[in-house]
Amino acid sequence: MPGVEYRLREFLPPADQRTLLVDASAGLALGVLPGLEHFSEAVTPLRRVVDGLVCSPGQIGKLSRATQADAGLLVRMDWSNSLRGASFVLPPMSTQRVPLLSAEDALELGSCGMVVAFLLGYEEEVEAGCLRSTVQLALRGRELGLPLVVEVQPGGPRVSIFGKAVELGASYALEGGADVIVVPHPGQASLETLGKFVSVPWLVKPTGLTAARQELADVLAAGACGLWLDHTVFAQPGAQAWLDELHQAVHAAPVKG
């Protein structure tokens, strides 16, 4: 476990246990994303104003952590077509999730953490595969000293009560051995419920970029350690200044006693 705790520090600063993470890996499923057409040039200026950056296996090889001030690099461990909606050029006929890397691969790529999706509301075999990957990566990650971040994605057609699905996904991730859990904003009631039972650091993906600052206070008050932003931030004008301001707000807020 000391190795896991050491690498957690690379994207979860120990001074306040707060963090701002940005996920740039959606191109795995969606192709070239607005603002990320030239990946290295786009993300390099932003690495000083966030704590962690999630990359695809191909992306992470284009970067290195030059200094301690640079964001820690995490790697996406799986591929899924769940992000492809009906408007996608090739909309999926069925939801699929495919493991891409082993924990050893992630370590060799130089990542400080592994990120895996936990899909909810889909066929039983999809959810079972997510749970299996979570457990296997968590166990091997502990042996290698590499933390596992589980991103709960309750986007399937069988989800009827969104907040309860988020709570269920967080409980699965916790039981599976996640070192960090990421959830979409589930509403105030479910935020408070998560704060009562999630015993590892957890982050919240805001309902939108424009709502991030407004929702930050409630997220931190519930016991979360910060925010998780998706790739759309790269297409936002003035992204670096906006992220810098949000990063300061994450770390300036009083730590919950």
Q: Dump pLDDT digits (tens) for 213-246.
A: 999 999 999 999 999 999 899 888 999 999 999 9
When mean pLDDT is compared across 75-79, 123-127, 162-166, 226-230, the lowest value belongs to: 123-127
Phi, psi of 219, deg, nearest 5 = -65, -45
Q: Which CATH number applies to 2-11+19-30+40-252: 3.20.20.70, 3.30.70.3270, 2.40.110.10, 3.60.9.10?
A: 3.20.20.70
Residue partners of 149: CB distance under 8 A and separation at least 6: 74, 113, 114, 115, 116, 178, 179, 180, 181, 182
pLDDT band at 111 (very low <50, low <70, confident <90, very high): very high
Q: What is the pLDDT of residue 130?
A: 95
Instruction: Give the domain ranges of the chain.
Output: 2-11+19-30+40-252
> In this predicted model, what pLDDT tens digit does every residue of 96-109 receive, in sequence order?
888 999 999 999 99
Taking the chain, what is the end-to-end CA distance rounded to the nearest angstrom? Answer: 25
